[in-house]
Amino acid sequence: MKAAVYYKNDDIRVEEINDLDVGYGEIKVKIKSCGICGSDVMEWYRIKRSGKPGGIGAFGHECTGDIVEIGPGVDPKWKIGDRVVVTHHVPDNTCPTCIYGHTTACHHHHTMKFKNGYGAYAEYVVLPLPDADRGILKLPDIVSYDEGTFVEPLGCVIRGQRISKVRDSKSVLIIGAGIAGILHTQAAISNGAGLVVVSDVLDYRLELAKKFGANYVINAEKENVPKRFKELNDNRGADVVIMTVPLSICIQQSLESISPGGIILFFTSTRPGVKSEIDIWDLWQNEVTITHSYSADFRDLYCALKWIEYKRINVKDMITHHFPLEKTSEGFMLTANPKEGSLKVIIHIN
C-alpha cells in the first residue's frame, strides 16, 4: 500500500510499504481524510526519525475512513463498511494516572500507535486491540469525512477548557488564531464564556477569529496584548488565558494577562529545553493557577463528535485547502508557513 513517509517538511515521499494482516481484536480502516496537525509540521521534532515509520510521534492522526476488515474477537457492533473516526492512542484506564483522571498522561496513551507505524497519511491503518476497543467512533451520515477529522483536535480543545474551567461568563484571552485558537474561540462560546478575545500576528487570521465569534481581536505585533486586553475588560485581566502558540513571548503575555484567581492553560508547549522565567510571588499572592492539557480521551472525542454532529461548532468553514496523498508535502509547507486565507489543510487519501 502507499504511505507518505516523512524526511522533512518539504520532502515527504509517497512510498510503497508492506500491508499488514489483521489479528485478534483488530480493525482495518481504509483512510479517506486526514487533517494536518500543527504537531505534524514541527520539523525539529520529527526529523530525528526521518524516513522511518511514522517519523516520530503520531504522523497523521486526525483521520476518518471506512472499515474494510475485522479480526476475530471484535465487538459485533462493528461492520465492514462502517464510516468511522479513529484515534491513534488510548489510555489503559487501569493505572493510577488514569484512575485519578489524568488519562492522557497515561504511559500507554503516550506509546500507542496505529499498527502500521506510518500513521494515517497512508491508504490503510490497522487499529490494534486497545484502539479497536475504545478508540473508534461511528461517523454519522450527516458528518462528512473531512468534518470528522476535527474530532481529535476539537476533543483536545474540549478537554483543555474543562480543565481550565471555561464557563460562567468568564473572560477569556486566546493567544493564537490558528486551528487550535479558532476551535478554542468557538468552544469558549459554547461553554458559556463572556468576553472572548483572540490575539495573533496575522491580520487575516484575526478576521477569521472575529468570523467565528471572537468579541475582539488584538494584533500582537502592533499592540501590547496584556494592556489591550485589560482595556477591553474594564481594566481587569482575563479569568482564563489559553496559550496555543509555542513561543516564550506568549508565555510572558499569558502571565501578564491573567487576573487574580485566574487560570492559565498552556495548551501547547515550547520545544524541550526552552526556559521561561516565572515570578512565583505574583502567582502566589493572586492565587493564579497554571495548568496544561495534552491530547484527548474517549470522553472528549465523543463530546467533540456530538458537537460537530449537532452543529455546536462550525468546522466545515474552517477547511481552506485539500491535497491528494501525493501532494502531502505541499500541504505540510502551507501549514508550516501559512499564506493569506489558509487555515486548515486536509489530505485526501483514497
288-340 confidence digits (pLDDT tens): 999 999 999 999 999 999 999 999 999 999 999 999 999 999 999 999 999 99
Question: How far is residue 15's CA from residue 61's CA, in Å, rounded to a whole number?
Answer: 19
29 close to 68: Cβ distance less than 8 angstroms: yes
In a domain, 51, yes or no: yes
Pair (35, 139) in one structural domain: yes
Query: Environment class of residue 141 by beta-carbon count within 10 Å: exposed (0-12), middle (13-18) or buried (19+)?
Result: exposed
Q: Indicate if 80 and 187 belong to the same structural domain.
A: no
- On whether both 42 and 183 belong to a single domain, the answer is no
* The predicted structure's pLDDT at residue 350: 86
How far is 328 from 332, CA to CA, in rounded Å? 6
Question: What's the CA gap between 222 and 343, in Å, rounded?
Answer: 22
Is the pLDDT at 56 greater than 60? The verdict is: no
The CATH number of the domain where 48 resides is what?
Answer: 3.90.180.10
Residue 57 has a pLDDT of 47
What pLDDT does 53 receive? 63
Residue 272 has pLDDT above 90, yes or no: no
Across the chain, what does the average pLDDT equal?
A: 94
Q: Which pLDDT band, with edges at 50, 70 and 90, does 2 fall under?
A: very high
Asked whether the predicted pLDDT for residue 54 surpasses 70, the reply is: no
Q: In whole angstroms, what is the distance from residue 152 CA to residue 61 CA?
A: 8
Residue with cell 504511505: 3
Quick check: 277 pLDDT over 90? no
Identify the band that residue 52 occupies on the pLDDT scale cut at 50, 70 and 90: low
**Is 249's pLDDT higher than 60?**
yes
Kindly indicate the confidence band of residue 55, based on its pLDDT and cuts at 50, 70 and 90.
Answer: very low
Query: Are 283 and 301 in a shared domain?
Result: no
- My answer on whether 231 and 248 are in the same domain is yes
Residues 184, 24: Cα–Cα separation, whole Å: 39
How far out from the chain centre does Cα 272 lie?
A: 19
The percentage of residues in the chain with a pLDDT greater than 70, rounded to a whole number, is 97
Q: Does 324 map to a domain?
A: yes
Of the listed ranges 43-52, 126-135, 186-195, 236-245, the one predicted with least confidence: 43-52
- The answer to whether residues 344 and 250 belong to one domain is no
Residue 229 lies in a domain: yes
> CB-based burial of residue 201 (10 Å sphere; 0-12 exposed, 13-18 middle, 19+ buried)?
middle
Asked if residue 71 and residue 197 are part of one domain, the reply reads: no
Residue 217 lies in a domain: yes
- CATH code of residue 172: 3.40.50.720
Cα–Cα distances in Å, from 326 out to 57, 114, 347?
21, 21, 9
Q: What percent of the chain has pLDDT over 90?
A: 82
Residue 17 lies in a domain: yes
Q: Are residues 41 and 142 in the same domain?
A: yes
The pLDDT of 11-26, averaged and rounded, is 92
Same domain flag for 285 and 300: no
pLDDT in tens, 123-148: 999 999 999 999 999 999 999 999 99
Q: pLDDT (tens digit, 9 = 90+) per residue, 315-328?
A: 999 999 999 999 99
pLDDT at 275 exceeding the cut of 90: no
pLDDT of residue 135: 95
- Provide CB contacts within 8 A for 53, sequence distance 6+: 17, 116, 117, 118
Do 194 and 147 share a domain, yes or no? no
Greater confidence, 56 or 262? 262
Summarize the confidence of residues 88-106 as an average pLDDT.
Answer: 96
CA 19 to chain centre: 28
Residue 159 lies in a domain: no
Looking at 292, 315, 337, the residue that finishes a domain is 292
Whether residues 117 and 170 share a domain: the answer is no
* pLDDT tens per residue across span 176-225: 999 999 999 999 999 999 999 999 999 999 999 999 999 999 999 999 99
Q: Contact at 8 Å (CB) between 237 and 259?
A: yes
Into how many domains does the chain fold?
2
- Residue 245 is part of which domain span? 165-292
- Asked whether residue 15 falls in the same domain as residue 137, the answer is yes
In this prediction, residue 202 carries a pLDDT of 97
